[in-house]
Structure 1
Amino acid sequence: MTEGLRERKKRQTRQRISETALGLFVARGFDGVTIAEVAAAADVSVNTLYNYFAAKEDLVLPPDQASPQRLADIVRARQPGESAARAVLDRLRDELRRRDRAVGLTAGFGPVFEMMRAAPTLTARLEDLGRQMTDALAAVLTEETGAAPGDQTPRVVASQIGWFHSLVYGEIGRRIVAGEKPATIAAALLELLDVVEETLGERALTYAIREG
């Protein structure tokens, strides 16, 4: 579907606001910049900014990119014969190989990560996001497997998947701070995922296989 003029202008405005905000946050710290300052620098009103971003944290972690449904969506889209855990492992491997923005391996992400790590409200948002991802995934696994009330297996499997998903992001962040290049980080994380797969129990790796 072709993007209309109105949609293109809205997308461009949203992108301008986001890029302006990140530039200010990196230069002065997340807590050192107000919404009004971001709006003025992006040449929009405060009301317009809030039409695009409901909260200040959304300027750094927009819900469409940092979604609580990320793990659940990956599992919902898995192929026939693929388990929930393998679907997430395969997606992470694909994102690492492509240096995808989803895993923070794009050029210039280092200063953004440092800014995020220094902001308590952003680190709290990330921690809460991880919990929400696990909760949403557990709900999907419960529904798809028809788990009986009181069966804790979907929650345990979702927690294991959430654990290695968080492990990957934490390791990427550590290596970014250490100054490693994206290609080096990606290679190391692909090896880490191999270890994760070898370490996970067979029950987790074969749980919720999609029927053909």
Structure 2
Amino acid sequence: MSEQGLRARKKQQTRDTISDRATRLFLERGFDKVTIADVAAAADVAKMTVTNYFPRKEDLALDLGPVFVEQLAATVREREPGESALAALRRAYLAAAAEQSPVVGFSGPDFAKLIADSPALLGRLREFHEEREAALARALAAETAAEPGDITPRVAAAQLAGVHRVLFEETMRRTLAGESNDVIAAALTGYIGRAFDVLAPGLERYAVR
């Protein structure tokens, strides 16, 4: 491995360690009762190191935020030849539900409660949903060569991201209600089909590669 690769790996390891220690503290004490200094001490790093990796305290708990924000746009950019944005996103969500991916809300009851009990984390999660919709709109505009004044990509993104948000919140609701991931995944598979079917009349031929 090159020196640059080793540095990147070390940085990722440091980031993961900080995030893991922070999550443990948040689960033990509650998000609002843990300080950046507490996280730094638990991870055996300086406070500045914590904030260099995670400028906002909320991102210590929601460390998959960057992946979450780019998820839909990446799926659209990587869709198969002949596949629409709608079809690609449906396929990807079904796969994520089958894998019980934390990116689509399979976080476990303790973590779901941590988020639900913290207005700060709920607020940051709302921001991630908004950022994800904006990223999807940009990807759709690029993939369809839309004119700058064309609102179609934004309208499509609002509908597609909206379905993802509803499904994510349903997963969280069921998790907080005590349902197992297997039960939630089974129910979600049916919901995904119904949700994307609602959008099909308007979007099944949109952004076909």
TM-score in same-fold range (> 0.5):
yes
- In structure 2, the CA distance between the partners of 1:153 and 1:36, relative to structure 1 (3 Å rule), is same
SS in 1 for 2:69: coil
Q: In structure 1, what is the Cα distance between the partners aligned to 2:88 and 2:32?
A: 37
Equivalent position amino acid for 1:72 in 2: A
Partner of residue 119, structure 2: 120
Number of equivalences: 208
1:86-136 residue CA offsets vs partner (Å, 9 max, x unmatched): 111111110111122322325xx2111111121112111111111121122
Q: In structure 2, what is the Cα distance between the partners aligned to 1:208 and 1:116?
A: 35
Partner of residue 159, structure 1: 158
- In structure 2, the CA distance between the partners of 1:184 and 1:114, relative to structure 1 (3 Å rule), is same
1:119-156 residue CA offsets vs partner (Å, 9 max, x unmatched): 11211111111112112211222232233454332222
What TM-score comes out, normalization by structure 2 length?
0.90
1:15-61 residue CA offsets vs partner (Å, 9 max, x unmatched): 22111111111121111110001111222111222232222111112
Structure with the higher helix share, 1 or 2: 2
1:49-88 residue CA offsets vs partner (Å, 9 max, x unmatched): 2232222111112266444322111111111111111111
Equivalent position amino acid for 2:60 in 1: L
What TM-score comes out, normalization by structure 1 length?
0.88
- In structure 2, the CA distance between the partners of 1:198 and 1:64, relative to structure 1 (3 Å rule), is closer
Deviation at 1:190, TM superposition (A): 0.5
Partner of residue 177, structure 2: 178
Partner of residue 35, structure 2: 34
- In structure 2, the CA distance between the partners of 1:50 and 1:144, relative to structure 1 (3 Å rule), is same
Deviation at 1:14, TM superposition (A): 2.1
Q: In structure 1, what is the Cα distance between the partners aligned to 2:183 and 2:172?
A: 13
Q: In structure 2, what is the Cα distance between the partners aligned to 1:111 and 1:144?
A: 39
Equivalent position amino acid for 1:153 in 2: T
SS in 1 for 2:196: helix
User: Which structure 2 residue ranges, 5 or more long, are not aligned?
Assistant: none
Q: In structure 2, what is the Cα distance between the partners aligned to 1:52 and 1:198?
A: 40
Partner of residue 59, structure 1: 60
| Identical pairs, percent | 43
C-alpha contact (below 8 Å) 2:87/2:204 kept by paired residues: yes
- In structure 2, the CA distance between the partners of 1:160 and 1:53, relative to structure 1 (3 Å rule), is same
C-alpha contact (below 8 Å) 2:77/2:143 kept by paired residues: no
C-alpha contact (below 8 Å) 1:65/1:102 kept by paired residues: no
Q: In structure 2, what is the Cα distance between the partners aligned to 1:159 and 1:66?
A: 19
Mean CA deviation greater in 150-159 or 179-188 = 150-159
C-alpha contact (below 8 Å) 1:69/1:136 kept by paired residues: yes
Q: In structure 1, what is the Cα distance between the partners aligned to 2:105 and 2:196?
A: 22
1:167-202 residue CA offsets vs partner (Å, 9 max, x unmatched): 111010001001111111001000001111222242
Q: Does 1:199 align with 2:169?
A: no
Q: Does 1:49 align with 2:55?
A: no
Q: In structure 2, what is the Cα distance between the partners aligned to 1:166 and 1:133?
A: 10
Partner of residue 89, structure 1: 90
SS in 2 for 1:69: helix
Equivalent position amino acid for 1:92 in 2: Y
- In structure 2, the CA distance between the partners of 1:209 and 1:24, relative to structure 1 (3 Å rule), is same
